[in-house]
Amino acid sequence: MDTAVVLIVGASRGLGLETIKATLRAGYSVRALARSAHTIALSDPRLEKVSGDALDEATVLKALSGVEVVIQTLGVPITLETSLKGTKLFSGTSCVLVKQMRAAGVQRLITVTGIESGDSRGSAGFLHSRILFPLILQRIYDDKTAQEEIIRESGLRWTLVRPGILTSGAPSGRYRVLLESKSWRGGFISRADVADFLVRQIRDDRNIGKTPVVIG
């Protein structure tokens, strides 16, 4: 069993919850930071639940104590408000996290953004890139792009993971990892399969400084 402690930021539901499960299955200890961490319906002696705000510097610094790797899985609900006004959650929390990781001496950061963020914009195919994205997701993903820039310039050992459209379901282990920009395209992938990929990055240095797109 690996003795590393992994901090998962944004861990109470969805992809974050799947990542907790996958990280525990892989034998790591998990510290789960989320506003509603106390509601996480999992019990394991290797799981520590920390209820707190990822925008609060003192909370984040305390959560980083003894941590070796950070996995950032934050998300926002897609509502009329977020579609029209966007969000600053991704860039704001990343500014805090990067600053406090440097202060704590934690180097490894694995962050989930998404296809259409950063230089992958326009890669997901006609329906997604030209219709769905501009109508619903563009303002949200503008902040994911800002988040990516903060992390790229952080000096940390980062990997930016860009999944396709997330679905429910059990892990299949049958997903594609697209590293070259010419191969990037949209698709669907289960949260459980994304979580599997994230956990594999904990001890795999091959994707440090890279932006893999993962689809089913």
Question: What CATH number did the domain enclosing 150 receive?
Answer: 3.40.50.720
Average pLDDT, the chain: 91
Q: How many CA atoms lie within 13 A of 9 on its CB side?
A: 28
Write down the pTM of the prediction: 0.93
Burial 45-66 (b: 16+ CB within 10 A, else e): eebebbeeebeeeebbbebbee
| CA atoms 59, 100, 194, 140: torsion sign | positive
pLDDT digits (tens, 9 = 90+) for 100-136: 999 999 999 999 999 888 888 777 665 666 667 666 6
**Domains of the chain: total:** 1
Q: Which of left, alpha, beta for 171 (phi over 0: left; psi -120 to 50: alpha)?
A: beta
CB 111 within 8 A of CB 72: yes
The range of the structural domain enclosing residue 199 comes to 5-215
pLDDT digits (tens, 9 = 90+) for 172-209: 989 999 999 888 988 899 999 999 999 999 999 999 99
